[in-house]
Structure 1
Amino acid sequence: MRAHLPEEREILIIQIQEQLNELKQLSRVDSHAIEGWEISVAGNNQPPGNPPKSGWKRIGAGTHWGDGQPDWTAWFRCKTQVPKRLVQSGSFVSLHLGIAREGLISINGKPFHGISENHKTFRITEASHLKKPLRIEVEAYTEAVQHPAPKYYGKFECAEFIRVDEAIDSLCWDLQVALDVLKTHDRKSTTFQRLLEVLASAMVRLQPYPEDLSVLRSLCRKTARWLKNELKPFPANPDDGRLLVCGHSHIDTAWLWPLQETKRKCGRTFSSILHLMEVNPEFTFAQGQPQLYQYVKEHYPEVYKGIKKRVAEGRWDPAGPAWVEMDCNLSGGEAIIRQFLYGNRFLEKEFGVRNNVCWLPDAFGYSWSLPQILKGCGVDFFVTTKIDWSMITTFPYTTFHWEGIDGTRIHAMMPPLNYNGNLIPKECKKQWEQIRQKDVLDEIAFSFGWGDGGGGPTQEMIENGKRLDDIAGIPKVRFGRLTDYFNEQREKIDSASLPVWNGELYLELHRACQITQARTKWYNRKMEVLLRETEFLSALGCVFGSAYPREELESIWRDVMTNQFHDILPGSSVEALYRETDEIYRSAMSRSMALKTKALDNYLKKIDTTGPGRPLVVFNSQGWNRTDPVGLPKSELKLKADEIFVDCDGDLVPSQVSRDLSGEDRVWIAPSGVPSVGHSTLRIVKNRSSLAIENSLKVSESRIENPFFVVELDPKGFIRRLYDKRANREVLPKGERSNILRVFHDLPHMHDAWDYDFNVDSNAWDWEDVQSIGIAESGPVRASIEIVRRTQRSTLKQRMVLYSNVPRIDFETSVDWWEKHVLLKAVFPVNIRSPKATYEIQFGSIERATHENTPFDRARFEVPHHRWMDLSEGNYGVAIANDSKYGSDILGNVMRLSLLRAPVHPDPHADEGRHEFVYSLIPHSGDWRHGSVVPLAAELNAPMTIGMPKKRLGPLPSTNSWLETSSKNLMIETLKREEDGKRLVLRVYECEGNRGVGTVLTRMPVKKAWASNLVERNLTPLKTSKGKINLDVTPYSVHTLMLELE
């Protein structure tokens, strides 16, 4: 009977599904339980490895294992063989294992397939596996630390071989896909009602199911032919759209598991993909992140060999050349360049390909600097899905030109939905419906596969995709490569038809990722600075023929880049991961320091250090003459009470000895001038004439003064007055306090480590519990007041430091932090009025609103920045610099720097322990350009290097400069050796938004010079004259020079 009423049609849909489920059971013709299993428990935090040789015990179905522990590994094994009765023509044999939440199956010693919640049944395709004895081994895993109170038990549920009839199974998929398509249609539409009748008729043709297998098989084949013919009147129409589908597994390099576990996730996932490719010749797969390939190369050579084969035939797409899918707000500009430099070099070396698509679906926002960096790294297309996660405003475009800080444009796309697509009719339809520019796009990419923790596509998804190539109401599906699709779109779409987005891609979510896990962020900044200094000194050594440690430096960079992954550096991973990364950072810092020390020692040997006393060389890697104080432990200098410092002319150099916050005595020296990218030699001599420096610093327990500022404290240790002597100006609003350490109750409505909420200010208090205030230093180089504060759990020591010759107020801070669910900010109300503030980002700066006029403005209540932020009005401004902080906000005239958080998930001990950091106040006349904010912040982050050479007559003078630029807005960022060859790479950028001719002057023996892109390709000859190289400088432009030495 035909269904005429809506209720009848709903009943009919249920009946069809139930009958179909019965047919699916009938497709399982036979099965065989696999017995004789043994288990050996390996424990937690296991690396990729081989089965243990001992500890094996028998285990049967229904047995729990894992002892309720997270991150727990056990091995299972058995010897078996597929029964001959299961190996029949017209059927295939599958292995079904219900053993663990995750695992890797190996057959006869080779990886076969990964296990996950969505991967438990695996078709056996290799002929030898069907005919010969099998040794099955499973490396099984409970799960990582994911939830406050998870169930970590593994359970051995079942293990069996299954014979599946191909004809019945194929018809089941035909019917299921058609039924799922039907459910996406409007119940009142003609298509829905007609298609429902077709499916109902198909089931009538099959009922009752014959008991004889050969009869049922024949009937299914006939019905499949009939159904194919009956579906022809239901083709897709142009309005249904088109999808390019490609398998993908978004494997977070770390997140709710440590790096150690990621290596095993790669082995599981990639072995699964290779198996699916054997079964499905049309299936394609895309995977970026060369670091993951490196893991597989090291630990799963058989799998890696298979990957290389599939890349060569074009079905495996190494999409995304960045070393990892890095955070794009916190990573430094040079570090992002290295992501693409080293990533594409790996792809080219290992697979013979370079990739030009930036695949970053899941990073937590994208800096305005990125278009220039991407284009300069040979990347032509940018893809993300993350900005659609924003909670306040909706991004208006699916595809657009993204214009960067310097005017560079890159083609960008934000496919709807997310990167873990499920290839089912409902999701395919939604993917097309949510495109915002169907007049421009006639096809959209859809990556499918289970992700975050790996796993990837399933056979079920692929079966769906095969049947969605032309059916009414669903986009036409074709399998293909993501890289090919995006390049086709770039060439096909008329550029003039695309809108332009000029600005950052700010994610209105996960704002606390600028703050959480402050120790990781501290390491990141320090390592970026240290690697820069190491490369400078190593490159200068090339002038004298010294070997350049390229391989060692790349190895260190790889560790730093891996830790810039978008769930590591932002602070949203588990405790076990941060134990790993702390160790990685400590090792990287030690290795880099060893390289820097070696390069410095070699450099010092080239300097003429003859003369009276003991020589002391100060090295400056920045592009301007520096006079800021530099300190080092007194124990290293072995300074005697009657010794002083003098410069090359014999003039006294100011110095002092003071104890730092850690209790170590340090010697502070204020050199009269260390030239740009060069050195100056001081001497330690006996003070035979009682030379003394006039002390321009005045300090008491509540007041401190230098030639630039007068600072007065209130009884709670906060600043109650800040007077700029140069500008004759009160910096603070009348009656306001500054450098307030404000604590906020911070329990977000979701995403504990990732977010804090818009109304966090509603429950806040000032940290006023002062234990002591006293004079710590009194000059002549620096003077400071030390304030100690406590809560019931935590202690903060802070020194407010003024210098005799630097117009910057430093707040050196040490915190023992043991709080829960609080946020700590340093708050600075200032006497400035401006509708916008400026924040440093990679290779430049960005202006953001200081008001909440629009939802767009209001959503930015915490923003990322790098070394400084500034609030300026017409003739005056105030900047806040920092040495390791990345989050801040400026609303009205109140500047706030975020210091520490204390979330409890996914790391219950996040941010606990000791923290040391420095932030600084820089009042100045004019705007941030006139106030020299960029160099002052750079000096805070990169103190000069001191070397103590032996006396020798070297070829270099006691004072020497290697490089300088014609103006202060042209910053020298990088000096290194090229990756393939002996030329030096010099990178400079314009930092103030100015235009004109800029000149680089080098005193190195340069024979030839070229301009290149950021990854040392596409060389163009440059004219040089007496070491001068002229550049056409535009606002925020980055220039890379290749220098061939004589």
Structure 2
Amino acid sequence: MKKTAHIISHSHWDREWYLPFEQHRYYFIKLMNNLIEQFKKEGNAFQSFHLDGQTVLLEDYFVVHPENREIIKQLIEEKKLYIGPWYVLQDAFLTSSEANVRNLLIGMNDTKAYGHVSKIGYFPDTFGIYGQAPQLLKQAGIDTAAFGRGVKPTGFNNTVSDTPNFESPFSEMIWKSPDGSSVLGILFANWYSNGNEIPVDEEEAKVYWDKKLEDAEKYASTNQLLFMNGCDHQPLQKTIPQAIETATKLFPDYTFKHSSFDEYTEALKGSLPEKLQVIEGELRNQRTDGWSTLVNTASSRIYLKQWNNHCQTLLEKVAEPLAAMNYLANGTYPREYIRFMWKSLMKNHPHDSICGCSVDEVHREMVTRFETVAQMGEVFVEEKAAELAQTIDTSKTPAGGIPLVVMNTTGWNKQEVITQTVDLDKVYFSQMHFEEIPAYLQEKEMSGYKLVDDEGKAVAFQLESPTIEFGYDLPDDQFRQPFFAKRANLAFYAEDIPSFGYKTFYLVPVEHPADQPQAPSPEKSKEMENEYVHVLFHEDGTYDLTHKVTGNAFHSLGLYEDTGDIGNEYMFKEAKGHAATTTKGVPAEFAFLEKNALRTVLEFQHTLSIPVSADGRLEIERNKLIWHKEREAGRSSEMTKLTLRTIVTLEKGMKGPAFKLFIDNQATDHRLRVLFPTELQTDTHKADSIFEIVTRPNIPEKEWENPSFCHHQSRFASLADDKMGLTVATDGLQEYEILPEDGTIAVTVLRSTAELGDWGYFPTPEAQCQGMQTAEWQVLPHENDVIFSKAYVDAYQYKVPLMVIQTSAHEGTLPGTHQFVNWEPTGLVWTSMKMAEERDDVIMRWFNPAGTKENLKAAINDDYQSYKSTILEEKTTESTNQYEVKDYEIITLGFQPTRQERER
């Protein structure tokens, strides 16, 4: 039987990388205009073009050429131009679970306007892929995935190794998720440029195809051979019809076809062997030498990951649930604006963007985008929270009292210490001449206060001395209303705030206020304690952490370690001949900043002497394009100071202390980590990944040569035995390593490099991250592992604060305390609450982190009926009382309004 060579024309289009976005867009406009002309000129001789699996490129093009929208639409309808299914080709590990879903959901919804979607899970250059991807794809109706990385070694300049020991002997395989979902996996075994720039000249074509056919046949399990005619930012090859004619003439035993993924995968599925290699879970290049995994992009320009974590959390854990709760109260949901916020954020999610492995101009623009998303999200949350507060009946507020609504937008009940600025009094400019207001407020006698909850129960609180500050309101029906307010910071412990709900408190004036707890006098001992943990600090800033429930303790946690880094934005390589510098035995300066019944805040500071940079050999190696694996540079003999200021906070109700590190980074070419030696002897550990708390080995495969064995994490990494465990939850710190000799969790808090690291020498001095940098994490001791103990609840809620809205006394339709959605707190992990994209159904999502079945019961009220859905919000089952959730299953429920509710 003849073998068929499927030639798919494409261009892998990083929106920004070694050039900034607008410069890459300039060339993309040329590509698209050339494509239109090519289709007009060649007709059916030029069959199709694959537009890199992302729909955002159409938006980029139509900004410049809106007049060509109908032409492009026609090409897509005629299956000449293939788009989707993603919105952007995002990095898989460095974006959240919900961001990965929204990328697919929005991308596939966008394709509806154009008539056809390329239903292939397209990951051409993704830097490793999470293990639950097959389950997500299957739920989206996609049964095939194509990828370039994660299975076979890929090195400098995207060179592909012919190492025989990678996970699959074929370029075709079965890829299975932990829940058992599987897709056909297509590996670009010879990269996604293996059919690039095909010669028309017969002599050149003979040499070309002799090599290319042999390479493809080496890995193909069928007679269907794939040749990707393109590469990164590849201009259109206009001579493809002529090149195919030449190939057909030279190799009559082969059928050469200008093809598409639709045609190729259909032919491939019809010729697959009965048995293919099954690849399970994550694709992370574990059966390689470890030098080309690109895992260290997780620590490149950490400030980008911190920004991204803030914006993702703001949208998916606050803005969307709040808007859905507001819909249930008021019947309105601004889905277009929410979609706009998501699209704005996802433009920072392509792999060369969020991975921090582009030129400096790219990442400067990313910070501006993040700032924009944060501005949008913050005003959105403020407005929606105020709207929701207006529907709450606070009419029974005591005279002169201030209602404070505490809102919980997470999937678990929550309690925490709240600090909120409260306007005790205010005078508008319309009431008094503005010059007189500050003095009037300052001299006005202030009463005492008490704080009570919705049932009238007194709540302990602290109220600071007030200040006079300017402010303004923005009414819906009036011009800006300026005022001066007497403001004070209020702190109290908000207990048992219901998931997807709120609780109202009242700050009430009284003649004889209860005495507020006074801060105790400073102590010489450096200890912190609440009802859950005890922390004892040593002179060098390390600490012993005791879990009071079990009495188990961890010792000497929190050591800082600095090493030289002669790698690049993609990969870490430790400098030669210089031992790590640590804070072990380096005395720290301690001071209590706050110590009262609600919280203890301790500050300590180190000053380390470290090499100012790498030695002079590194610059020579960079200019010679010596790959990081082969570099021999050491560290400079010139020294500089590295100042580390750590603030530790332990509040009432916290399951472990929280840390914020301020790094005054004056050095270059180095990496800073914080170490947590657990002394636990285990073979595996767990980490938060995409819809999975994944189990990973502590020691790499036998093929691994790299001394470093780093991993990605989303929100936490955890080590445990059958008695005790330690989980480190982080805020945008997405790289960690397990040091197996003493069970140390090592979390990277800063990495300073100075070059992009691929396709030549692209200096990136801003990747050194000099100046003041910050890092935040929380340390959670617990019984057994992170799943059994449900310590993941605290880890996922870290950095998702309760919201407080000061409102007025008014009538409303909702009670003072309310929960919009009730669900039994099973062993599931909640990830999302939103409204459906195309109808007024509430959509909620969870995943099962364990290998045991769970039952899910969830309800809104009698006006809504639940049903099971896919991630694309397509109904799959009718309403039942409960839903069985399989091992590791991602489950989405929709809540559909009944006819009465719709008519209302």
Give the TM-score of the pair, scaled to structure 1: 0.71
Name the counterpart of 1:414. Answer: 187
Structure 1 residues 186-214: Cα deviation after superposition (integer angstroms, max 9, x where no partner): xxxxxxxxxxxxxxxxxxxxxxxxxxxxx
User: For residues 827 and 916 of structure 1, what CA distance do their matches in structure 2 show?
Assistant: 16
- Seen in structure 2, the aligned counterparts of structure 1 residues 993 and 583 have a Cα distance that, compared at 3 Å, is same
Counterpart of 1:776 (choices 593, 600, 605) is 593
User: For residues 586 and 285 of structure 1, what CA distance do their matches in structure 2 show?
Assistant: 36
Check conservation: 1:616, 1:949, Cα contact below 8 A: yes
Give yes or no for the alignment of 1:724 onto 2:540.
Answer: no
Task: Give 1:289 shift.
Answer: 1.2
Deviates more, 1:787-796 or 1:331-340: 787-796
Task: Give 1:683 shift.
Answer: 1.6
Name the counterpart of 1:172. Answer: none
Counterpart of 2:497 (choices 660, 665, 674) is 674
1:110-125 residue pairs with structure 2 within 5 A?
Answer: none
Name the counterpart of 1:611. Answer: 397
- Tell me the SS of whatever aligns to 2:339: helix
Name the counterpart of 2:306. Answer: 522
Name the counterpart of 2:572. Answer: 756
Check conservation: 1:1009, 1:1021, Cα contact below 8 A: yes
Give yes or no for the alignment of 1:631 onto 2:410.
Answer: no
Give yes or no for the alignment of 1:908 onto 2:765.
Answer: yes
Check conservation: 1:358, 1:379, Cα contact below 8 A: yes
Name the counterpart of 1:486. Answer: 265
AA partner of residue 445 (structure 1) = L
Name the counterpart of 2:383. Answer: 598
Check conservation: 2:461, 2:493, Cα contact below 8 A: yes
Check conservation: 1:964, 1:1001, Cα contact below 8 A: yes
Task: Give 1:712 shift.
Answer: 2.2
Name the counterpart of 1:342. Answer: 106
Name the counterpart of 1:1040. Answer: 892
Counterpart of 1:808 (choices 653, 656, 670) is 656
Name the counterpart of 1:315. Answer: 80
Task: Give 1:689 shift.
Answer: 4.8
Give yes or no for the alignment of 1:940 onto 2:705.
Answer: no
1:513-912 residue pairs with structure 2 within 5 A?
Answer: 513-532=297-316, 533-609=318-394, 610-612=396-398, 613-633=401-421, 642-656=448-462, 667-686=490-509, 688-692=512-516, 700=524, 702-719=526-543, 721-732=544-555, 737-748=556-567, 752-757=568-573, 763-767=579-583, 772-790=589-607, 792=640, 794-852=642-700, 854-855=702-703, 861-892=709-740, 893-906=743-756, 907-910=764-767, 911-912=769-770
Give yes or no for the alignment of 1:264 onto 2:26.
Answer: yes
Check conservation: 1:922, 1:933, Cα contact below 8 A: yes
Task: Give 1:358 shift.
Answer: 1.4
Check conservation: 1:654, 1:671, Cα contact below 8 A: no
User: For residues 129 and 213 of structure 2, what CA distance do their matches in structure 1 show?
Assistant: 25
Deviates more, 1:758-767 or 1:863-872: 758-767
Counterpart of 1:1017 (choices 871, 874, 886) is 874
User: For residues 999 and 708 of structure 1, what CA distance do their matches in structure 2 show?
Assistant: 30
AA partner of residue 775 (structure 1) = F
Structure 1 residues 218-248: Cα deviation after superposition (integer angstroms, max 9, x where no partner): xxxxxxxxxxxxxxxxxxx85xx43200111
Name the counterpart of 2:166. Answer: 394
- Seen in structure 2, the aligned counterparts of structure 1 residues 876 and 440 have a Cα distance that, compared at 3 Å, is same
Check conservation: 1:738, 1:827, Cα contact below 8 A: yes
Check conservation: 2:539, 2:588, Cα contact below 8 A: no
- Seen in structure 2, the aligned counterparts of structure 1 residues 790 and 978 have a Cα distance that, compared at 3 Å, is same
Counterpart of 1:442 (choices 200, 211, 223) is 223
Counterpart of 1:457 (choices 209, 225, 236) is 236
AA partner of residue 841 (structure 1) = S
Task: Give 1:636 shift.
Answer: 9.4
Check conservation: 1:808, 1:936, Cα contact below 8 A: no
- Seen in structure 2, the aligned counterparts of structure 1 residues 510 and 700 have a Cα distance that, compared at 3 Å, is farther
User: For residues 661 and 490 of structure 2, what CA distance do their matches in structure 1 show?
Assistant: 19
AA partner of residue 874 (structure 1) = D
Task: Give 1:583 shift.
Answer: 1.2
Task: Give 1:488 shift.
Answer: 3.5
User: For residues 786 and 619 of structure 1, what CA distance do their matches in structure 2 show?
Assistant: 30
1:247-396 residue pairs with structure 2 within 5 A?
Answer: 247-280=9-42, 281-283=44-46, 284-287=48-51, 288-318=53-83, 320-349=84-113, 351-387=114-150, 388-390=152-154, 394-396=166-168
RMSD over aligned Cα atoms: 3.0
Give yes or no for the alignment of 1:501 onto 2:275.
Answer: no
Q: Give the % identical residues.
A: 20
Check conservation: 1:556, 1:592, Cα contact below 8 A: yes
Task: Give 1:292 shift.
Answer: 0.6
- Seen in structure 2, the aligned counterparts of structure 1 residues 630 and 477 have a Cα distance that, compared at 3 Å, is farther
- Seen in structure 2, the aligned counterparts of structure 1 residues 915 and 992 have a Cα distance that, compared at 3 Å, is farther
- Tell me the SS of whatever aligns to 1:631: strand
Check conservation: 2:404, 2:806, Cα contact below 8 A: yes
1:472-483 residue pairs with structure 2 within 5 A?
Answer: 472=251, 476-483=255-262
Name the counterpart of 2:614. Answer: none
Name the counterpart of 1:949. Answer: 807
Structure 1 residues 7-40: Cα deviation after superposition (integer angstroms, max 9, x where no partner): xxxxxxxxxxxxxxxxxxxxxxxxxxxxxxxxxx
Task: Give 1:772 shift.
Answer: 2.9
Task: Give 1:879 shift.
Answer: 0.7
Check conservation: 2:689, 2:714, Cα contact below 8 A: yes
Name the counterpart of 2:250. Answer: 471
Task: Give 1:974 shift.
Answer: 1.7
Check conservation: 1:698, 1:705, Cα contact below 8 A: no
User: For residues 181 and 748 of structure 2, what CA distance do their matches in structure 1 show?
Assistant: 31
Check conservation: 2:73, 2:115, Cα contact below 8 A: no
User: For residues 251 and 796 of structure 1, what CA distance do their matches in structure 2 show?
Assistant: 41
Check conservation: 1:727, 1:925, Cα contact below 8 A: yes
Structure 1 residues 810-865: Cα deviation after superposition (integer angstroms, max 9, x where no partner): 11223343431111111111131111000011222111111246235978711001
User: For residues 637 and 914 of structure 1, what CA distance do their matches in structure 2 show?
Assistant: 38
Aligned length: 785
Check conservation: 2:790, 2:827, Cα contact below 8 A: no
AA partner of residue 466 (structure 1) = E
Larger Rg: 1
Name the counterpart of 1:220. Answer: none
User: For residues 260 and 505 of structure 2, what CA distance do their matches in structure 1 show?
Assistant: 61
Task: Give 1:653 shift.
Answer: 2.9
Structure 1 residues 445-500: Cα deviation after superposition (integer angstroms, max 9, x where no partner): 21112x32x24332355533321125349954211112321244235536x52221
Task: Give 1:656 shift.
Answer: 4.5
- Tell me the SS of whatever aligns to 1:627: strand
User: For residues 510 and 881 of structure 1, what CA distance do their matches in structure 2 show?
Assistant: 23
AA partner of residue 265 (structure 2) = F
- Tell me the SS of whatever aligns to 1:787: strand
Gaps of 5+ in 1: 1-236, 1024-1028
AA partner of residue 401 (structure 1) = I
- Seen in structure 2, the aligned counterparts of structure 1 residues 261 and 317 have a Cα distance that, compared at 3 Å, is same
- Tell me the SS of whatever aligns to 1:726: coil
Give the TM-score of the pair, scaled to structure 2: 0.81
Check conservation: 1:247, 1:456, Cα contact below 8 A: no
Task: Give 1:999 shift.
Answer: 1.1
Check conservation: 2:566, 2:575, Cα contact below 8 A: no
User: For residues 472 and 484 of structure 1, what CA distance do their matches in structure 2 show?
Assistant: 21
Task: Give 1:948 shift.
Answer: 1.0
- Seen in structure 2, the aligned counterparts of structure 1 residues 771 and 345 have a Cα distance that, compared at 3 Å, is same
AA partner of residue 417 (structure 2) = P
Task: Give 1:385 shift.
Answer: 1.3
Gaps of 5+ in 2: 156-162, 200-204, 427-440, 466-486, 609-639, 757-763
